[in-house]
């Protein structure tokens, strides 16, 4: 049952083959988790949403990958509380198409709306509002998890160990078949945005510390590819949902139209080397000089503000055959020096890096593998190809680990396994839950195997 | 699992005492490979190579014996290697080879057959066994040491050269067969490498070291290459040599 094919993450770096099944309902899914029909015994099973994690989290070489795309029902949105129960395979795109016209926005959105609710929970995704609202799982009141020991209901009050292990647990505690999410009321589909440009990192970081709290959303784009002296120049954009009264008169009668799916599609892999040190720094420079020095009160669409790349389907193909890495780390509030060092390391080594994203995180949640911790996070887009890249990213790991920080597993494709527990010291709490709900070790992914998270199972 | 840079975490080496293979293992182990299994024919030198891998940081390095003179044992050797590695292997390196003595190998039919067996038949059989494993795993790379000697075969070493030509063509074909399976083949074509195999032989142009070949191999794994030349310049040299008229080719020195 079910064909197999090659699966890779969004960065397209390490494809592997697996049998792929697309269960029509949770009952069909249970069969797969109980050992499956015809799956290679012992080769494992993992869920896959929309494949927007960058590395190898949603693939399982030689095993079974459960594509949850058909579990995509959207229940009614409670007009009082904003609570809605959605299938684990529902995309944020579809949820917004339904919810916005009724005046509800998702509580947290990553930089693309082409992620599934299951993927948003498994990575405990964060958005530009983390400093205020925390990450996605903080807005989930309950979920249904299909596990090898049966179907379990969980939430922050009901079996909290299981719930929080699932938040950021990268699918290793089971398959989320549905979740109840508390949506956020909005009056319009626009955001009122203030933009400021800074010539260096110190400036932008000071501004974020000082006044992020005055905005619901805040993020800075940093140029880490510019040469010495200019590396670290940044554009800070911050905003809040617009009220109807913020809109020009002409738009006030249709304030809640949902964003459209992508209109442009990239079909072919670009030639390798198209994105090199030269083209990348030229792009970053053009982008920096186009940004206004300071502008306030600009109205932006949801796509422009939250999901700027969603207009182009398959943009990851532009990185060429070899693909690319995204390197994202988080460090404490007093470790701004690591952000400085990282930018300097990339710039000094001439490593091409697309606009890096800098953000201040608010406090983390109880999830042992949930990525956000209070402090700073920096995300770097790094095309594969430069020979120094493997060494540079290993160096970044050491810096981050020494500073008590961590890298984001939803983006990882290369971490040294020994560093996982250093970065996530509460890893054993996830493992305890896994032993309980998956005693024979059916759930695993290329990520969990690469990082040695499956312990005795792989040795046996 | 191989990571985004094609860095393996587990490796099986068929001919773990090969100097080129040892240079590869030193690099991959320095880069996070923890499980290494070395197979070979000489327990003493195998133990030496294993100790070297452990010193470089490998967890523990099981060794086991095989004889490339007996292709009927290829499947069993591969099975034992995978079992010793714990079932899953990211990279299988095939380094078995014998340079032989051309004057004997071209006149003694038993020696001709033995050369073709060690250089072509056994490695091909072992690769088929390993490829089946990697296909089931859904990932993994087979790295095979071919040689420029097989790219255009010379009068002076046509027995060795033709055995490598066969292995090279076989490996390219196997790579095609594995397309879409998650597993793949990388064919390595070194020129003259200063190792115990070539000791005492006159050096050819572009002579290089085992470490240079090893670097070309790890770079090739990182870029997902299907063919790797070492040193890289040989790719262009042989693009020319391959197309020389036979009359000129014959007269080239070496
Ligand atoms: C352009 C872009 C921008 C991004 N911006 C951000 C950002 O701002 N903030 C952020 O936090 N992340 C960001 N991401 C990362 C992305 O949000 C996460 O990787 C997310 O997990 C992707 O969801 P998916 O549905 O594509 O999941 P997949 O990539 O398919 O899977 C990711 C993980 O979730 C698990 N999973 C998927 N579905 C289920 C399920 N139903 N039950 C259990 N486990 C499941 C998988 O096993 C896997 O471990 C971005 C990604 C891209 C491509
Ligand atoms: N050196 C070069 O110039 C050069 C150039 C191009 C290609 N190559 C190829 O690269 C590979 C490695 O060569 P190398 O330079 O590293 O030389 P090497 O050290 O001599 O390696 C050859 C390996 O093959 C093993 N072997 C030979 N016959 C065997 C048999 N019957 N059974 C089991 N194992 C056997 C050897 O074992 P022992 O150690 O026990 O002898 C040794 O481990 C070979 O395939 C070679 O053809 C070499």
Q: Could you give the ipTM of this predicted complex?
A: 0.94
**pLDDT per position as a tens digit, A337-375:** 999 999 999 989 988 888 899 999 999 999 999 999 999
* Cβ atoms within 10 Å, residue A141: 16
> A56: CA distance to ligand 1 center in Å?
11
- The residue ranking higher by pLDDT, B28 or A38, is B28
**Residue B198: predicted pLDDT:** 97
**Residue B169: predicted pLDDT:** 98
Which ligand 2 atom is at minimum distance from the Cα of B146?
A: 7
Task: Single out the residue of A116, A77, A166 nearest to residue A365, CA to CA.
Answer: A166
Tell me what the mean pLDDT of segment A409-431 comes to.
Answer: 97
The answer to whether residue B18 scores a pLDDT higher than 50 is: yes
Domains delineated in chain B: 10-249 (3.40.50.720)
> B14: CA distance to ligand 2 center in Å?
10
**Residue A262: predicted pLDDT:** 72
**Residue B146: predicted pLDDT:** 98
- The residue ranking higher by pLDDT, A348 or B79, is B79
**Residue A230: predicted pLDDT:** 86
Instruction: Determine whether the shortest distance from the Cβ of B69 to ligand 2 is under 6 A.
Output: yes
Token pair listed for B3? 């990571």
**pLDDT per position as a tens digit, A46-66:** 999 999 999 999 999 999 999
* Cβ atoms within 10 Å, residue B207: 14
Work out whether strand A375-383 and strand A354-361 pair parallel, antiparallel, or are unpaired. Answer: antiparallel
**pLDDT per position as a tens digit, A421-449:** 999 999 999 999 999 999 999 999 999 99
User: For residues A198 and A104, is the Cβ–Cβ distance under 8 A?
Assistant: no
pTM for this predicted structure? 0.95
Tell me what the mean pLDDT of segment A308-335 comes to.
Answer: 89
The partner residue sitting opposite A446, judged by closest CB among B1, B136, B224, is B1
Tell me which chain B residues have a C-beta less than 8 angstroms from the C-beta of A14: 1-4, 6, 139
The answer to whether residue A336 scores a pLDDT higher than 60 is: yes
**pLDDT per position as a tens digit, B38-76:** 999 999 999 999 999 999 999 989 999 999 999 999 999
**pLDDT per position as a tens digit, A175-234:** 999 999 999 999 999 999 999 999 999 999 999 999 999 999 999 999 988 877 888 999
CA gyration radius for chain B? Answer: 17
Q: Do B182 and A17 touch (CB under 8 A)?
A: yes
- The residue ranking higher by pLDDT, A65 or A278, is A65
User: For residues A386 and A351, is the Cβ–Cβ distance under 8 A?
Assistant: yes
Q: Cα angle at B206 between B202 and B207, to 5 degrees?
A: 45
Catalytic residue at B160? yes
**Residue A250: predicted pLDDT:** 86
Instruction: Determine whether the shortest distance from the Cβ of B96 to ligand 2 is under 6 A.
Output: yes
Which residue among the candidates B66, B120, B122, B160 is catalytic per the annotation? B160
Tell me what the mean pLDDT of segment A127-136 comes to.
Answer: 98
The answer to whether residue A90 scores a pLDDT higher than 60 is: yes
Split at pLDDT 50, 70, 90, the class of A458 is very low
* Cβ atoms within 10 Å, residue B43: 12
Tell me what the mean pLDDT of segment A234-248 comes to.
Answer: 96
> A1: CA distance to ligand 1 center in Å?
26
The partner residue sitting opposite B1, judged by closest CB among A43, A56, A459, is A56
């Amino acid at each position: 049952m079910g064909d197999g094919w090659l699966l890779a993450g969004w960065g397209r770096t390490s494809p592997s083959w697996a049998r792929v099944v697309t269960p029509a309902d949770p009952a069909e899914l249970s069969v797969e988790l109980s050992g499956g029909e015809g799956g290679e015994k012992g080769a494992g099973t993992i869920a896959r949403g929309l494949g927007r994690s960058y590395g190898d989290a949603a693939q399982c070489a030689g095993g079974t990958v459960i594509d949850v795309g058909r579990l995509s029902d959207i229940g009614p949105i409670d007009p009082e509380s904003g609570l809605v129960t959605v299938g684990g395979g529902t995309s944020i795109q579809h949820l917004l198409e339904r919810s916005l016209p009724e005046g509800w926005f998702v509580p947290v959105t990553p930089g693309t709306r082409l992620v599934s609710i299951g993927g948003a929970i498994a990575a405990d995704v964060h958005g530009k509002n983390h400093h205020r609202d925390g990450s996605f799982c903080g807005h989930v009141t309950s979920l249904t998890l299909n596990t090898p020991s049966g179907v379990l209901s969980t939430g922050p009050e009901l079996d909290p160990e299981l719930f929080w292990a699932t938040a950021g647990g990268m699918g290793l505690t089971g398959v989320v078949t549905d979740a109840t999410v508390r949506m956020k009321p909005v009056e319009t589909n626009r955001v009122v945005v203030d933009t400021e440009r800074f010539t260096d990192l110190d400036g932008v970081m000071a501004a974020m510390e000082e006044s992020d709290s005055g905005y619901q959303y805040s993020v800075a784009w940093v140029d880490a590819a510019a040469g010495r002296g200019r590396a670290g120049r940044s554009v800070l954009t911050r905003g809040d949902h617009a009220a109807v009264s913020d809109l020009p008169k002409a738009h006030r009668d249709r304030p809640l139209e949902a964003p459209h799916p992508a209109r442009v599609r990239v079909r072919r892999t670009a030639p390798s080397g198209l994105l090199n040190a030269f083209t990348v720094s030229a792009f970053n420079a053009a982008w920096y000089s186009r940004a206004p020095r300071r502008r306030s009160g600009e109205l932006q669409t949801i796509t422009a503000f939250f999901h700027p790349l969603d207009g182009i389907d398959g943009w990851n193909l532009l990185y060429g055959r070899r693909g690319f890495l995204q390197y994202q780390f988080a460090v404490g509030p007093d470790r701004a020096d690591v952000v400085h060092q990282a930018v300097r390391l990339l710039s000094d080594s001439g490593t091409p890096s697309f606009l890096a994203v800098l953000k201040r995180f608010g406090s983390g949640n109880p999830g042992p593998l949930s990525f956000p911790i209070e402090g700073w996070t920096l995300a770097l887009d790094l095309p594969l190809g430069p020979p120094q890249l493997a060494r540079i990213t290993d160096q970044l790991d050491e810096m981050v680990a020494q500073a008590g920080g961590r890298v984001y597993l939803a983006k990882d494709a290369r971490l040294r396994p020994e560093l996982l527990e250093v970065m996530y010291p509460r890893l054993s709490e996830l493992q305890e839950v896994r032993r309980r709900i998956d005693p024979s070790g059916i759930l695993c992914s290329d990520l969990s195997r690469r990082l040695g998270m499956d312990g005795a199972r792989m040795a046996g | 699992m191989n990571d985004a840079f094609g860095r393996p975490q587990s490796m099986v080496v068929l001919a773990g005492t090969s100097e080129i293979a040892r240079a590869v293992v030193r690099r991959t182990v320095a880069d996070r490979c923890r499980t290494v299994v070395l197979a070979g024919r000489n327990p003493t030198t195998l133990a030496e190579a294993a100790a070297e891998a452990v010193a470089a940081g490998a967890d523990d390095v099981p060794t086991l014996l095989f004889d490339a003179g007996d292709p009927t044992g290829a499947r069993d050797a591969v099975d034992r290697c995978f079992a010793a590695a714990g079932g899953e292997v990211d990279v299988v390196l095939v380094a078995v080879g014998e340079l032989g003595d051309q004057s004997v190998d071209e006149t003694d039919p038993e020696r001709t057959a033995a050369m073709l067996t060690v250089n072509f038949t056994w490695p091909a059989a072992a690769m088929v066994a390993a490829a089946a494993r990697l296909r089931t795993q859904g990932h993994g790379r087979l790295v095979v040491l071919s040689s420029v000697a097989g790219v255009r075969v010379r009068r002076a070493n046509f027995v060795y050269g033709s055995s490598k030509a066969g292995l090279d063509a076989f490996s390219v074909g196997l790579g095609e067969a594995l397309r879409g399976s998650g597993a793949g083949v990388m064919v390595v074509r070194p020129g003259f490498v200063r190792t115990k195999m070539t000791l005492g032989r006159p050096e050819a142009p572009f002579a290089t070291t085992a470490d240079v070949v090893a670097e070309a191999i790890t770079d090739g794994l990182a870029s997902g290459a299907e063919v790797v030349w070492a040193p890289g310049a040989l790719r262009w040299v042989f693009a020319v040599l391959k197309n020389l008229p036979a009359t000129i080719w014959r007269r080239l020195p070496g």
